[in-house]
Amino acid sequence: MFTKTLAELARGLRGKEFSSVELTRALLQRIDASQSVLNSVISVTADSAMAAAAAADGQIAAGTAKPLTGLPLLHKDIFCTEGVRTTCGSRMLENFISPYDATVVAKLRQAGMIMLGKTNMDEFAMGSSNETSFFGPVTNPWNAAMVPGGSSGGSAAAVAARLCPVATATDTGGSIRQPAALCGVTGLKPTYGRVSRYGMIAFASSLDQAGVISLTAEDAALILNAMAGFDPRDSTSVDERVPDYTATLGDSLAGLRIGVIREFFDAGLDAGVGAAVRAALAAYEKLGATLVDVDLPALPLSVPTYYVVAPAEASSNLARFDGVRFGHRCKDPVNLEDLYKRSRGEGFGAEVKRRIMTGTYVLSAGYYDAYYLKAQQVRQLIAQDFARAFADVDVLMGPTTPTPAFGLGAKTADPITMYLNDIYTIGANMAGLPAVSIPCGFAADLPVGLQIIGAHFAEAKLLNVAHQYQLATDWHSRVPPAWAA
């Protein structure tokens, strides 16, 4: 049962092959059993999940169920969940019970889905390996000595280990796609503004986007149908029609023009990863697509640009964690300054502090023009590169990451090396474009991700392109050996 995709589970529930209570109980047990090795979940909401599953079974029996009724999922612990601890992977929010639901959480609940718990993540989504979490690192289901990627490492590992069919995630610089690639699952980051950010704890507001990690593109389409849409509580969400993302999954790829991003096949690309991605491109040619080389000359500037813009916004977004109204407060503050310094000093981890300091620096008087303003200009250049490319091609492709999963602790001492792991993913965030990572093979027994980037609001096309590949290949249905039983 646990290896089934979301679409298969939906059919099973409707066909009464199993009940939502049975499914939910089985997955809760699986989560419980996995924790000591994987550590992919921070909080488990077993009681409310079982109650919701029983109610879902009632609806299924009564014939009032919606397409996703009774299907379980995990939420990344960056989404606020009413009455449930929402930590954002930080000591700062170790005991924070959110008084409200994020729009994404509310929508998926209204669609009938059952929350099993909250997934582990890099602290405040700042990290590429899940090692900055206050709740300890998550391990890679394919090799427990390796990282799962980050920041949505818990969501990716949980789906890869078949603890649940889908999990929500967020992507600011690659935080959905990179862990999806490293764990061998499908990760979709929609267009900026496609999904509401309300209730998603902000890291870098102009880049943050909620999305989903799943086993297949079809499952991502099912979830996006429920997640997407304008939210009057998020001024940056876009009032653009939400199509049925499953309707076009079956479209033929004959005549599809694929732009192959030349800058992604650089010296830093691991040979095994490159080989797997080139093989995937060849498979697309067999499906009727044409490959076109595309240059995105400003793209190599995306990492330094990102590490100005994202920390700048983060330094301001994280100012509200001051020990005054919620979150960690130091013991016995002697005055206001002491309260601020110790509450924040104790509540935040090293990477978060590093980014707050970087962000504060680039926004400060005398440096703003040279850093923040310049970075925004470069961001425009990157966006223009993409816009030019999409005048000629339907989608862009390349590797999601330069290497497969790396060892736990291998890059923690050198932040720059860690940051470079997002070199291929940041571009889509800079330009606000939708992108998906799908499994396309293995390098050194570790999964490799193929990244597909689309034009604004072209999620339906992306999912169609990914789905056709998944019909022709079986990389997405490979189960990590340790989690196959």
Partner 1 sequence: MSTNAGTNDWETVIGLEIHAQLATRSKIFSASATAYGASPNAQANLVDLGYPGVLPVLNGEAVRMAVKFGLAVGAEIAPRSVFARKNYFYPDLPKGYQISQFELPVVGKGALDIVLDDGERKRIGITRAHLEEDAGKSLHEGLGKLTGIDLNRAGTPLVEIVSEPDMRSAKEAVAYLKKVHTLVRYLEICDGNMQEGSFRCDANVSVRKRGASAFGTRAEIKNINSFRYVEKAINYEVARQIDLLESGGKVVQETRLYDPDKGETRSMRSKEEANDYRYFPDPDLLPLVIDAAFIEQVRASLPELPDDKAARFSRDYGLSDYDAGVLTASRDLADYFEATAAAVANAPPSPDHAKLAANWVSGALAAALNANNLEIAASKMTSASLAGLLRRIADNTISGKIAKDVFEDMWATGNEADAIIESRGLRQITDTGAIERAIDEVIANSPNQLADYRGGKDKLFGYFVGQVMKATAGKANPAQLNELLKKKLAG
Report, in Å, the least distance between residue 142 CB and partner 1. 32
- Alpha helix (H) residue ranges in 364-396: 374-390
Q: Which stretch binds partner 1 (CB under 8 A): 29-37, 171-179, 312-320, 389-397?
A: 312-320
Q: Is 360 among the residues that bind partner 1 (CB under 8 A)?
A: yes
Residues 6+ apart with CB under 8 A from 208: 125, 170, 171, 172, 197, 200, 202
Q: Is 364 among the residues that bind partner 1 (CB under 8 A)?
A: yes
Closer residue to partner 1, CB minimum distance, 122 or 322 = 322
Among 247, 319, 444, 472, binds partner 1 (CB under 8 A): 319
- Are 101 and 109 in contact, with CB atoms under 8 Å apart? yes
Instruction: Report how far apart the first and last C-alpha atoms of the chain are (Å, whole number).
Output: 11
Query: Is 36 one of the catalytic residues?
Result: no
Contacts 24+ apart (CB under 8 A), 339-345: 344/92
Q: Which stretch binds partner 1 (CB under 8 A): 176-184, 202-210, 446-454, 476-484?
A: 202-210
Among 15, 47, 62, 235, binds partner 1 (CB under 8 A): 235
Complete DSSP assignment for 280-298: HHHHHHHTT-EEEEE--TT
Q: Is 198 among the residues that bind partner 1 (CB under 8 A)?
A: yes
> Pick the catalytic residue: 43, 76, 411, 461?
76
Residue for token digits 């943050």?
208
Q: Is 340 among the residues that bind partner 1 (CB under 8 A)?
A: yes
Query: Is 48 one of the catalytic residues?
Result: no
Closer residue to partner 1, CB minimum distance, 336 or 444 = 336
Q: Which stretch binds partner 1 (CB under 8 A): 12-20, 250-258, 323-331, 470-478?
A: 323-331
Report, in Å, the least distance between residue 179 CB and partner 1. 21
Closer residue to partner 1, CB minimum distance, 3 or 364 = 364
Q: Is 331 among the residues that bind partner 1 (CB under 8 A)?
A: no
Closer residue to partner 1, CB minimum distance, 19 or 315 = 315
- Distance from the Cα of residue 226 to its chain's centroid: 17
Query: Is 151 one of the catalytic residues?
Result: yes
Q: Is 315 among the residues that bind partner 1 (CB under 8 A)?
A: yes
Q: Please, which residues bridge with residue 188 across strands?
A: 212, 436
Report, in Å, the least distance between residue 235 CB and partner 1. 5
Q: Is 142 among the residues that bind partner 1 (CB under 8 A)?
A: no
Q: How far apart are CA 360 and CA 215, in angstroms?
A: 39
Among 35, 48, 248, 316, binds partner 1 (CB under 8 A): 316
**Which sign does the torsion angle of CA 187, 193, 199, 202 carry?**
positive
Residue 253 main-chain phi, psi, to 5 deg: -95, 5
Q: How far is CA 257 from CA 44, 287, 288, 388, in A?
A: 44, 11, 9, 14
Number of neighbours of residue 325 by Cβ within 10 angstroms: 8
Query: Binding pattern to partner 1, positions 157-196, x when CB under 8 A?
Result: ----------------------------------------
Contacts 24+ apart (CB under 8 A), 95-103: 96/326, 96/327, 98/199, 100/199, 101/199, 102/196, 102/198, 102/199, 102/200, 103/196, 103/198, 103/199, 103/231, 103/233, 103/234
> Pick the catalytic residue: 40, 133, 151, 214?
151
Query: Binding pattern to partner 1, positions 58-87, x when CB under 8 A?
Result: ---------------------xx-----x-
Question: Can you read off the two tokens belonging to residue 431?
Answer: 């330009």
Q: How far is CA 320 from CA 11, 118, 165, 317, 326, in A?
A: 45, 22, 34, 7, 9
Closer residue to partner 1, CB minimum distance, 17 or 240 = 240
Question: Can you read off the two tokens belonging to residue 442?
Answer: 């293995």
Residues of this chain that interact with partner 1 (CB under 8 A) are: 79-80, 86, 88, 93, 96, 98-100, 102, 197-202, 204-206, 232-236, 312-313, 315-316, 318-322, 324-327, 336, 340, 360, 363-365, 368, 372
